[in-house]
Structure 1
Amino acid sequence: MGTTSTAAAGSYHHGNLRSALLERAEQTLELDGVEGLSLRQLARDLGVSHGAPGRHFRDKQALLDELAYDGFVAMNARLEVAAHAVGTLRERLDAVARAYVAFAVEHRTLLSVMYTTKHAPDASERLRLISHASMDTTTGLLRQGQAEGVLSAGDPERLALVAFAAVHGVATLASNALLDGVPVEAATSATVAVLWAGMTAPPATT
């Protein structure tokens, strides 16, 4: 994205510079990584004064924090849509997994920033709360399955964590082109199939 025109830059003074900074910052993240991101460069890209971004973000870390928060909002929205789509519980779990992997592939660097920022010692409570929403969505689906007798008994939060670990593994491999030619959706569906088989298996008898 090149430098904006004078007219476009002037419009930022009417309240949308913050959103423009976040949009451009995410683009920069995916192209150049965290190291390539700076408030000064964003100002140049958007054609505003060097001090203008400081009115919205005190420093680069504050910008990254907001990117992380917005990233979780966007990701959680996708997972919520998938979780409440028409279909069986099995189909909706598969849809949630595919939505997560798709987001991870599309926003590889942003996702890394989201989790790194979330786990930072000084992470805000606001960020911690929004970051848990996706796990709550999965846990809710598993609780529903247990209540309906579709899934075996067990701690739904622990099961959701295991499911997340497996699907996140696929997302990581896909984001780094390490699936050895296996289509992303096929790898995701196979992973959910294994998880589903484990969660629906009857307890072992002795």
Structure 2
Amino acid sequence: MAPPKKASDGYHHGDLRAALLRAAVELIAEHGVAKLSLRECARHAGVSHAAPYRHFESKDALLVAIAEEGFAWLHEAGRAAMDGLTDPRKRLDAYGVAYVRFALEHPVHHRVMFTLQPDDDSLTAGLGREAFELLQAAAVAVTGPEVDPRHAAVAAWSIPHGLSMLILDGRVPAGLVTDEDAAEDLARAVLSLWRGPLGG
């Protein structure tokens, strides 16, 4: 693999931002969020220490950008999973399965999305709204208008999110989830069991 280019060697405006995001995700995967810094991202991306400040005024802003990217991907994954399905329950289950797969494919994004606590609350205004609204609409189509839409959304969210965290934290039985396909199979089984024998 070729070494990363210096900013002066041809990074375009959008390329630098994307490179810094990739560097941050790789560093978080290796060392955790606590040790992340803009300076270390710059070093990892092969750019000057000042370069990240063209796009991110702080570490918090960089983390918010990772979360924004993750929520956009989650929204697209959910939309794509439901595309072509007309049965409300199948649509909601498809979102749930896509949610679990997304978490395994993008574990750093997933953790940042749901553990982000920046000092400036304005940074997170509206964060994840589209993904949540898509889930809420799918949940309401199952429960009907008599249920509070927020309750329906949280109920539908709880199972795939809880399962995702159990998998990411290594809390499911050994050998049960060996790859993303196995995680999808487990998600389908859990969703089916919950609305059947376990859900009453």
Q: Give the TM-score band, short-chain normalised.
A: 0.7 to 0.9
The answer for unaligned runs of 5 or more in structure 1 is: 202-206
Decide whether aligned partners of structure 1 residues 121 and 4 sit closer, same or farther in structure 2, where only a CA change above 3 A counts: closer
Q: How many residues align?
A: 193
Whole-Å separation in 1 of the counterparts to 2:136 and 2:35: 37
Whole-Å separation in 2 of the counterparts to 1:137 and 1:61: 26
Q: Contact 1:3–1:45 at 8 Å: present in 2 too?
A: no
Q: What's the CA shift for 1:195?
A: 4.2
Q: Contact 1:98–1:185 at 8 Å: present in 2 too?
A: yes
Q: What's the CA shift for 1:14?
A: 5.0
Decide whether aligned partners of structure 1 residues 85 and 28 sit closer, same or farther in structure 2, where only a CA change above 3 A counts: farther
Q: What's the CA shift for 1:153?
A: 4.7
Question: TM-score, normalized by length of structure 1?
Answer: 0.78
Give 3-state SS (helix, strand or coil) of 2:20's partner.
Answer: helix
- 1:173 maps to 2:166: yes
Whole-Å separation in 2 of the counterparts to 1:140 and 1:15: 33
Partner of 1:27: 26
Q: What's the CA shift for 1:21?
A: 0.7
Pairs within 5 Å for 1:97-112: 97-112=96-111
Pairs within 5 Å for 1:30-41: 30-41=29-40
Task: Report the residue type matching 2:141 in the other structure.
Answer: Q
Pairs within 5 Å for 1:108-127: 108-117=107-116, 120=118, 122-124=120-122, 127=124
Q: Give the % identical residues.
A: 33
Whole-Å separation in 2 of the counterparts to 1:121 and 1:42: 20
Task: Report the residue type matching 2:104 in the other structure.
Answer: V
2:131 to 131, 134, 137: 134
Q: Contact 1:89–1:145 at 8 Å: present in 2 too?
A: yes
Partner of 1:53: 52
Partner of 1:90: 89
Question: TM-score, normalized by length of structure 2?
Answer: 0.81
Decide whether aligned partners of structure 1 residues 191 and 131 sit closer, same or farther in structure 2, where only a CA change above 3 A counts: same
Partner of 2:149: 156
Task: Report the residue type matching 2:115 in the other structure.
Answer: T
Q: Contact 1:139–1:160 at 8 Å: present in 2 too?
A: yes
Give 3-state SS (helix, strand or coil) of 1:12's partner.
Answer: coil
Q: What is the RMSD computed on CA atoms of the aligned residues? A: 2.8
Q: Contact 1:143–1:156 at 8 Å: present in 2 too?
A: yes
Q: Contact 1:21–1:42 at 8 Å: present in 2 too?
A: yes
The answer for unaligned runs of 5 or more in structure 2 is: 178-182
Deviations 1:167-200 (A, max 9, x none): 21110111122210334233311321244349x9
Q: Contact 2:89–2:142 at 8 Å: present in 1 too?
A: no
Q: Contact 2:96–2:187 at 8 Å: present in 1 too?
A: yes
